[in-house]
């Protein structure tokens, strides 16, 4: 099971990114995705930016690429 975490602001994402283990970084459509382990759970983390459109695009990309549960 993979958990997707989408943060709007850099400080939100930075706190979690520091705690990820075995991180694989990838970029798609201007978004950077961080896939790794957080407390032995598979996690993908992305900063969407502020706004409904930005968060919708980031969410769509996460679902398409990482297939979270």
Q: What is the residue-level pLDDT of the chain in tens, covering all 69 positions?
A: 999 999 999 999 999 999 999 999 999 999 999 999 999 999 999 999 999 999 999 999 999 999 998
Domain residue spans in the chain? 2-66
Q: What is the pLDDT of residue 49?
A: 96
Cα–Cα distance for residue pair 67/44, rounded to 1 Å: 10
| Strand arrangement, sheet containing 31-38 | 2-7, 41-47, 31-38, 21-28
- Asked if 19 and 45 count as a contact pair (C-beta separation under 8 A), the reply is no
CATH of domain 2-66: 3.40.50.140
């Amino acid at each position: 099971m993979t958990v997707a975490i989408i943060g709007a602001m850099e400080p939100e994402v930075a706190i979690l990114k520091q705690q990820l283990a075995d991180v694989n970084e990838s970029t798609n459509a201007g978004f950077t995705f961080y896939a790794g382990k957080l407390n032995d759970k598979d996690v993908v983390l992305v900063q969407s930016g502020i706004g409904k459109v930005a968060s919708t695009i980031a969410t769509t990309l996460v679902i398409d690429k990482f297939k979270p549960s």
